[in-house]
A and B are shown apart, each in its own frame.
Chain A
Amino acid sequence: MNPLQISWKSLLYHKWTFFLNVLLIAFGTGILTLLLIGTTQIGDKLRGNARGIDLVVGAKGSPLQLILSSIYFIDFPTGNISLADANQLAKNPMVKRAVPLALGDNYFGYRIVGTDSSFINLYQLKLSQGKFWKRDFEVVIGSEVARNRKLKVGDTFHGSHGLTSGEEGAHEGHPDRVTGILEPAGNTTDNLILTNISTIWDIHGIEAGEQNDKREITSLLIQYRSRMAMIVLPLFVNKSTSMQAASPAKESARLFSLIGVGVETMQWFAISLMFIAGISVFVSLYNSLKERMYDLAIMRVMGASQFRLFLIIILEGIILTSIGSALGIILGHFTLEIIGHFQDSSQARLSGFFFLKDEFYLIAAGLIIGILASVIPAVQAYRADISKTISKG
């Protein structure tokens, strides 16, 4: 019988206490894991999608909304801007690259984006099958769209008006035909349907009967030519045109600080849960020590050293917290996978199969809590007076 076996059997002897303590630690660690891998993924996605985009120009309104709709494809756009204004801005010498976006339709919740080849270059998109669109009503779909809607090159479908599924009926008339499927890129483009802008105009032109000189797009993604543009261009757009300019970096940071309050609250909640778990482990060991003093004294009579008893008690704390934190980490991943599964916006889907080095710190924290909670009972076991304990019976 080694100390580990003795500690383990002693824990099993009080199985409900064991269960309660493991549960408390697992919940604390679980929430921390969930927050850790959740926020890391959200942060990665925010940064990944905004890579290479210095400025978004769109209709006046909330800058955050403009960023959300044009980069992350989650919120509704702020409105439309005229193609003429957009083209004029795109010709500005400070602009290195300007990518036009025209939103308005979806297919089962996947947004149909009217754009041009500059979008492909911006995101460095590659095809896994087929070729890029050339004519109207030809589309290239993201890998997730192809997988989930089981679309192949050559398939056709009718998009619906609006940006979320089931908002309005499908467009009638000319169907869209898939000419290519993109390689998975790990960003929002996996969930997009790309086509040229005139396809979007055609669909809505037929419906609304608009004139050509009133053609509009939703927004413009801009890459600066120089650092100078960073200061001048947003000011110019906001002051001298009817459009607004929003910086993805600034708005993402603002968005993250908004989420941050919630995350921080949850973090403190989880940390206090861990703290309570630590106290619970301490109280359990401390209380059980009173009834086990005689057991421990007998172990000493059988020849166990003081250090052996110390080790047995410390191990009980460590076993409890390491099982708890290991379960907690599994629980955290599992919960995030479930959250991801039921998530509404496919653009920002979170995955439970995402691992970080930092999770080892959670295990380490669990171990430290186990040691801290059991050190006082262990010292008491170490210092117990065998003769006195046995005399008392």
Chain B
Amino acid sequence: MLQLKSVSHTYNGKEVLNFSDWDIRRGENWLLLGESGSGKTTLLHILTGIKKPTKGQVMINETDLYKLSSRQMDRFRGRNIGLVFQQPHLIKSLTVEENLKLAQTFAKLPEDKVRIEEVLSELGIIQKIKSYPSELSQGQLQRASIARAVLNKPTLLIADEPTSSLDNKNAKAVINLLLKLSESSNSTLIISTHDDRVKESFSKEYLL
């Protein structure tokens, strides 16, 4: 489902990051481990199609990601990849519902209010549907940004250090949510972390 083939990225023309090949099958859950600064975020951005590697090939579902035109890539990303950021972030001028609608329209999918309510209910923040991001707690914001990532049932769900700013209890809850949601939307999950609390839930690891 996802193949990484002899990818390397060069920073400022000297620092070279080499990534070993990676083969992920549909429905597998992976951990991406590595110390801070080891290139975890860079690799995730390469997988997401927002950073073109200097060399190598990324294949997602038989599509060579970096052979797509800029526009095709944007559309592909909107449809197939959900990204959960380290810091949860919604667009401030729009309500939770509008933020989610945006994810649908940008992916060129029809606006589907039923699906939005379904995801928000699953994440337990349906009561915040009409709220603006500034009215949400940090935890609710995190859930809302997860809702946005899984809304279009992406084939690939990527989370970049989703637990780094959370306490034990919340970290556990977020991991469980991600696992549950990736299963219900039939997604392949990749979580990058250097957090030991996360490790026990995953059997497959990719080490940087």
- Whether both chains belong to one complex is answered with yes
Identify the A interface with B (CB < 8 A).
1-2, 6, 9-10, 12-13, 294-295, 298-308, 386-387, 390-391, 393
CA–CA, A302 and B85, complex, Å: 12
Q: Does B41 contact A (CB under 8 A)?
A: yes
Residue of A nearest to B160 (CB): A390
17 CB-based A-B contacts, threshold 8 Å: A1-B98, A1-B101, A2-B105, A6-B94, A9-B93, A10-B93, A13-B92, A299-B102, A299-B106, A302-B107, A303-B78, A303-B107, A305-B70, A305-B71, A308-B106, A390-B85, A393-B86
Q: A295–B92 contact, CB under 8 A?
A: yes
Q: Does B74 contact A (CB under 8 A)?
A: yes
Query: Which residues does chain B contribute within 8 Å of A391, judged by CB atoms?
Result: 41, 45
Q: B50–A387 contact, CB under 8 A?
A: yes
Query: Which residues does chain A contribute within 8 Å of B105, judged by CB atoms?
Result: 1-2
CA–CA, A295 and B87, complex, Å: 12
User: A1, A300, A303 — which one has the most chain B CB atoms within 10 A of its CB?
Assistant: A303
Q: A386–B93 contact, CB under 8 A?
A: no
Q: B93–A298 contact, CB under 8 A?
A: no
Interface 1/0 per residue, B50-64 and A, CB below 8 Å? 110000000000000
Q: B78–A302 contact, CB under 8 A?
A: yes
| CB contact between B79 and one of A12, A303, A393 (< 8 Å): that residue | A303
Q: Does B16 contact A (CB under 8 A)?
A: no
Identify the B interface with A (CB < 8 A).
41, 45, 48, 50-51, 70-71, 74-75, 77-79, 83, 85-87, 89-94, 98, 101-103, 105-108, 111, 148
Q: How far is the CB of A255 from chain B (nearest CB, A)?
A: 54
CA–CA, A42 and B114, complex, Å: 62
Query: Which residues does chain B contribute within 8 Å of A390, judged by CB atoms?
Result: 45, 50, 85
Q: How far is the CB of A2 from chain B (nearest CB, A)?
A: 7
Q: B91–A299 contact, CB under 8 A?
A: yes
Query: Which residues does chain B contribute within 8 Å of A299, judged by CB atoms?
Result: 91, 102, 106
Q: B79–A301 contact, CB under 8 A?
A: no
Query: Which residues does chain B contribute within 8 Å of A9, judged by CB atoms?
Result: 93-94, 98
Query: Which residues does chain A contribute within 8 Å of B106, judged by CB atoms?
Result: 299, 302-304, 308
Q: B85–A1 contact, CB under 8 A?
A: no
Query: Which residues does chain A contribute within 8 Å of B48, judged by CB atoms?
Result: 301
Query: Which residues does chain A contribute within 8 Å of B91, judged by CB atoms?
Result: 295, 298-299
Q: A387–B94 contact, CB under 8 A?
A: no
Residue of A nearest to B86 (CB): A393
User: A294, A307, A391 — which one has the most chain B CB atoms within 10 A of its CB?
Assistant: A391
Q: How far is the CB of B142 from chain A (nearest CB, A)?
A: 14
Query: Which residues does chain A contribute within 8 Å of B90, judged by CB atoms?
Result: 298
User: A300, A302, A390 — which one has the most chain B CB atoms within 10 A of its CB?
Assistant: A302
Query: Which residues does chain A contribute within 8 Å of B102, judged by CB atoms?
Result: 1, 6, 299, 302
Residue of B nearest to A389 (CB): B50
Query: Which residues does chain A contribute within 8 Å of B94, judged by CB atoms?
Result: 1, 6, 9
Q: B92–A305 contact, CB under 8 A?
A: no
Q: How far is the CB of B17 from chain A (nearest CB, A)?
A: 14
Q: B70–A393 contact, CB under 8 A?
A: no
Q: A301–B101 contact, CB under 8 A?
A: no
CA–CA, A356 and B108, complex, Å: 44
Query: Which residues does chain A contribute within 8 Å of B51, judged by CB atoms?
Result: 387
CA–CA, A391 and B40, complex, Å: 11
CA–CA, A294 and B93, complex, Å: 13
CA–CA, A162 and B41, complex, Å: 91
| CB contact between B74 and one of A1, A2, A12, A304 (< 8 Å): that residue | A304
| CB contact between A301 and one of B71, B75, B83 (< 8 Å): that residue | B83
CA–CA, A103 and B201, complex, Å: 105
Q: B75–A303 contact, CB under 8 A?
A: yes
Q: How far is the CB of B150 from chain A (nearest CB, A)?
A: 13
Q: B70–A306 contact, CB under 8 A?
A: yes
Query: Which residues does chain A contribute within 8 Å of B86, judged by CB atoms?
Result: 393
Query: Which residues does chain A contribute within 8 Å of B45, judged by CB atoms?
Result: 387, 390-391
| CB contact between B103 and one of A6, A12, A295, A302 (< 8 Å): that residue | A302
Query: Which residues does chain B contribute within 8 Å of A295, judged by CB atoms?
Result: 89, 91-92
User: A295, A386, A390, A391 — which one has the most chain B CB atoms within 10 A of its CB?
Assistant: A390
Residue of A nearest to B90 (CB): A298
Query: Which residues does chain A contribute within 8 Å of B98, judged by CB atoms?
Result: 1, 9
Residue of B nearest to A10 (CB): B93
Query: Which residues does chain B contribute within 8 Å of A294, judged by CB atoms?
Result: 89
Q: How far is the CB of B9 from chain A (nearest CB, A)?
A: 11
Residue of A nearest to B76 (CB): A303
Query: Which residues does chain B contribute within 8 Å of A1, judged by CB atoms?
Result: 94, 98, 101-102, 105, 111
Query: Which residues does chain A contribute within 8 Å of B108, judged by CB atoms?
Result: 303
Residue of A nearest to B145 (CB): A298
Q: A300–B75 contact, CB under 8 A?
A: no
Q: How far is the CB of B90 from chain A (nearest CB, A)?
A: 8
Q: How far is the CB of B97 from chain A (nearest CB, A)?
A: 10
Residue of B nearest to A7 (CB): B93
CA–CA, A303 and B74, complex, Å: 4
Residue of A nearest to B46 (CB): A387
Q: A300–B71 contact, CB under 8 A?
A: no
Q: How far is the CB of B192 from chain A (nearest CB, A)?
A: 13
Q: B75–A393 contact, CB under 8 A?
A: no
User: B48, B87, B98, B105 — which one has the most chain A CB atoms within 10 A of its CB?
Assistant: B105
